[in-house]
Amino acid sequence: MVGAACAHYAARAGLSVTVLDRGPVAGGTTGAGEGNLLVSDKEPGPELELALHSSRLWRKLAEELPAAIEYETKGGVVVADDATRLAALRSLAAAQSDAGVDAREVSGGQLRELEPHLADGMPGGVHYPEDAQVHPALAAAHLLRASGAEVRCGEEVTAVLTAADGAVRGVATASGARLLAPYVVNAAGTWSGEIARMAGVRLPVLPRRGFVLVTEPLPRVVRHKVYAADYVADVASGSAALQTSAVVEGTAAGPVLIGASRERVGFDRTLSVEVLRRLAERATALFPVLGGVRVIRAYAGFRPYLPDHLPAIGPDPRVPGLVHACGHEGAGIGLAPATGVLTAAALTGSAPPLDPRPFRPDRFPDPCAAPDRRPR
Amino acid sequence: MKPRRTTSPARPRPTPRDVVGADPGPAFEITFDGRSVAALPGQSVAAALWAAGILAWRTTRGGGRPRGAFCGIGQCHDCLATVNGIPNRRACLLPARPGDAVTTQEGAGRADLAV
């Protein structure tokens, strides 16, 4: 999705763009997501600013792209299950409001009006009307088509070509093709660290695994994206250990999606029954009605995780011509448009719409830094 | 479809059951939308419905169009039916049992949960 957005806004800025994907469209990071466009799960700071800007851009894209992308401004509802969590949620919502988020505290009774199937006894929560959803694979495909960029699927980048002065000259692919270009945008999702390595720089993108349970098709049982208040803490955690918190939402096609788990186990795709069990347990605690509904499948994906939970967006000063747009963790679908706009601004040298400095790709110190080989 | 043989033999065409020499035991009754349907031990719900000339027992979620068995081997999920009150049962895989109440499934079959 991030690559599609970069292609879209770069092409719109007048650049000639070729998109290389080693697999099919949305076959990697994007296709394993749920398509969330969230402002609710972000603490005030650069990521929230990126999310708010993206939220506005998504509204415009939804008008331009076909209805098939299933854009829905369903809103988010965060539920606290005890008084302590409610107090923490309330202070987060207050800070988010100051940062421009529409966050409305709701009582336990109002929660039931928003979500009639919610469990009894929830003391309260916060309603975020700006949270939205798209079908990630369809949205990526339609955005890519609308961009007018040349798209080459099944074409894996095997080398980043550089000139004698160290600047990027293009890429080589597994089919033997050499594409020459003054700029290469690294939007390889969870595999972006490899592209950076090919260019001789370190970008510590790590996979953070998550599972999603998919129920049988249902009528509208869950109206919003509903999640437990501890989800925000899990997202912000740096731990490699397994964390699960209930995240429940319906889809246009009928199935309810149940997440969210986070663990750092490399690129291991082995199905974890323990994770699925915990997801089901937490989801049914939030929505007891789901206890009588069947799960028909589960899927796993890898969030592109950077140690400080911020994406890497912008030119890499270590390799002229290399521009990164990756490391958005679980928020890449939502953050894609603003990332595309920032990337296009970097490529054309125009003024960015928001401060890109927090996303500098060279902000991670190299733990085994050798003396710099490159002339500056 | 092949054209029917013009020189048809006098005896009736053998059924698959005749061909394999099956002896499934006595038939029992299930119901479809309240109407009595005969089923044999080991027969799937879809087979029993087909044998009674019933080809559709679900309507689609989007257009409300009729659906019945398509692949017949549990892959396509076209044959979903509500059996004994439980929706989304694959009729082609589910063995019929005496007294089973099969009802036409409207859409997702969970209209009671809609909010």
pLDDT band at A146 (very low <50, low <70, confident <90, very high): very high
Question: Which of A113, A114, A218, A287 is most worth mutating to test chain B (most B CB atoms within 10 A of its CB)?
Answer: A218
Rounded to the nearest angstrom, the minimum Cα separation between B76 and chain A is 13
Interchain pair B61, A217: CB under 8 A: yes
Percent pLDDT > 70 in chain B is 91
Q: Is B32 a domain residue?
A: yes
pLDDT, residue A369, reads 55
CATH of A2-36+137-204+308-359, one of 3.50.50.60, 3.40.50.850, 2.70.70.10, 3.20.20.140: 3.50.50.60
Kindly indicate the confidence band of residue B3, based on its pLDDT and cuts at 50, 70 and 90. low
Confidence at residue A73, expressed as pLDDT on a 0 to 100 scale: 95
Average pLDDT estimate for B91-109 = 96
pLDDT cut 90: percent of chain A above it: 89
Nearest to B88 among A115, A216, A289 (CB): A216
Task: Provide the mean pLDDT of chain A.
Answer: 94
Q: Are A16 and A128 in contact (CB under 8 A)?
A: no
Instruction: Give A-chain residues touching B107 at CB under 8 angstroms.
Output: 219
Contact B88 A117 (CB under 8 A): no
Report DSSP state, residue B95.
B
Strands A104-107 and A124-128: antiparallel
What pLDDT, in 10s, does the model give residues B62-89? 899 999 999 999 999 999 999 999 999 9
Contact A217 B108 (CB under 8 A): yes
Report yes or no on B2 lying in a domain.
no
For residue A274, pLDDT over 70 is answered with: yes
Strand partners, A356: none
Give the closest residue to A34 by CA, choosing from A222, A177, A199, A203: A222
**Beta pairing partners, A324:** A186, A314
Residue A376 has pLDDT above 50, yes or no: no
Per-residue three-class SS string for A155-182: CCEEEEEECCCCCEEEEEECCCCEEECC
Nearest-neighbour CA in chain B from A124: distance (Å) = 20
Percent residues over pLDDT 90 in chain B: 77
Helices assigned H by DSSP within A207-272: 230-236
Closest CA–CA distance from residue B57 to any residue of chain A (Å):
17
- What's residue A375's pLDDT? 47
d(CA A53, CA A338): 6
What range does the domain containing B85 cover?
Answer: 24-61+80-106
* Residue A294 contacts B where some CB pair is shorter than 8 Å: yes
Q: How far apart are the first and last CA of chain B?
A: 47
Question: What is the band of A245 on the pLDDT scale with cuts at 50, 70, 90?
Answer: confident
* Type of residue found at A332: G
Mean pLDDT score across all residues of chain B: 91
Please determine, for residue A286, whether its predicted confidence score (pLDDT) is greater than 70.
Answer: yes
Residue B112 belongs to some domain of the structure: no
- Bridge partners of A209, per DSSP, are A263, A302
Task: Answer yes or no: is B54 within a domain.
Answer: yes
pLDDT tens figures, A69-107: 999 999 999 999 999 999 999 999 999 999 999 999 999
At residue A103, what is the residue type?
Answer: A
C-alpha A69: how far from its chain's center? 16
The predicted-structure confidence for A32-61, as pLDDT tens digits, reads as follows 988 999 999 999 999 999 999 999 999 999
Cβ contact A247:A227 at 8 Å: yes
Q: Is A23 an interface residue toward B (CB < 8 Å)?
A: no
pLDDT at B17: 83
The three-class DSSP label of residue A291 is helix
Count interface pairs A-B at CB distance under 8 A: 30
Residue B7 has pLDDT above 70, yes or no: no
Q: In which region does residue A335 sit, left (phi positive, over 0), alpha (psi from -120 to 50) or beta (all else)?
A: alpha
Instruction: Report chain A residues whose CB lies below 8 A from the CB of B114.
Output: 219-221
CATH number of the domain at B96, please.
3.10.20.440
Which chain B residue's Cα is nearest to A222?
Answer: B115
CB contact under 8 A, A219 and B88: no
In a mutational test of the B interface, the residue from A70, A117, A216 whose CB has the highest number of chain B CBs within 10 Å is A216
Residues A17/A68, Cβ–Cβ less than 8 Å: no
- For residue A233, the model assigns a pLDDT of 75
Identify the closest residue of chain B to A295 by CA–CA distance: B88
Mention every residue, 6+ apart, whose C-beta is less than 8 A from residue A97. A103
Helix segments in chain A, DSSP class H: 2-12, 46-64, 83-98, 108-114, 136-147, 192-198, 230-236, 273-286, 332-348
Nearest CA in chain B to A223: B115
- Closest CA of chain A from B4, distance in Å: 43
ipTM of the complex: 0.75
User: Residue B15 — very low, low, confident or very high, per pLDDT cuts 50/70/90?
Assistant: confident
Q: Strand A150-153 and strand A18-21: pairing? A: parallel
Task: Give the pLDDT score at B1.
Answer: 52
pLDDT of residue B8: 54
Q: Are A85 and A78 within 8 A, CB to CB? A: no
Is the pLDDT reported for residue A238 higher than 90?
no
* Domains: count for chain B: 1
What is the reported pTM?
0.87
For residues A122 and B17, which has the higher predicted lDDT (pLDDT)? A122
Q: Report the C-alpha gap between A23 and A347 in whole angstroms.
A: 25
Upper half-sphere CA count for residue B81 (Cβ side, 13 Å) = 30
Instruction: List pLDDT tens digits, range A294-333.
Output: 999 999 999 999 999 999 999 999 999 999 999 999 999 9
Q: A309-344 burial by CB neighbour count: b if 16+ within 10 A, else e?
A: bbbbbbbbebbbbbbbbbbbbbbbbbbbbbbbbbbb
Q: In angstroms, rounded to a whole number, what is the distance separating the alpha carbons of residues A69 and A60? A: 13
pLDDT of residue A236: 74
Whether residue B5 lies inside any domain: the answer is: no
Residue given tokens 């000339």 in the structure block: B53
Secondary structure (3-state) at A133? strand
Assess whether pLDDT exceeds 80 at residue B58.
Answer: yes
Does the pLDDT at position B4 exceed 60? no
Portions of chain A given CATH number 3.30.9.10: 76-126+206-305
Q: What is the pLDDT of residue A242?
A: 86
Type and span of the H or E element at A246: strand A243-250
A182's CB contacts (< 8 A; 6+ apart) are A168, A169, A321
Lowest mean pLDDT among A120-124, A218-222, A250-254: A250-254
Give the helix/strand (H/E) hosting B46.
helix B45-51
Q: Half-sphere exposure of residue A142, counting CA atoms within 13 Å on the CB side?
A: 17
Among the listed residues A188, A185, A205, the one whose alpha carbon sits nearest the alpha carbon of residue A327: A205
Is residue B75 situated within a structural domain? no
- Cα end-to-end span (Å), chain A: 33
Cα→Cα distances B37→B15, B44, B46, B54, Å: 19, 13, 11, 10
A57-66, A68-77, A129-138, B2-11: least confident range: B2-11
* Confidence check: pLDDT of A370 > 90: no
In what helix (H) or strand (E) does residue A251 lie, and over which residues does it extend? Answer: none
**What residues are paired with B42 via a beta bridge?**
none
Average pLDDT on A242-246 reads: 88
At the second CATH level, the architecture of A76-126+206-305 is 2-Layer Sandwich (3.30)
Reported as a pLDDT band with limits 50, 70 and 90, residue B37 is very high
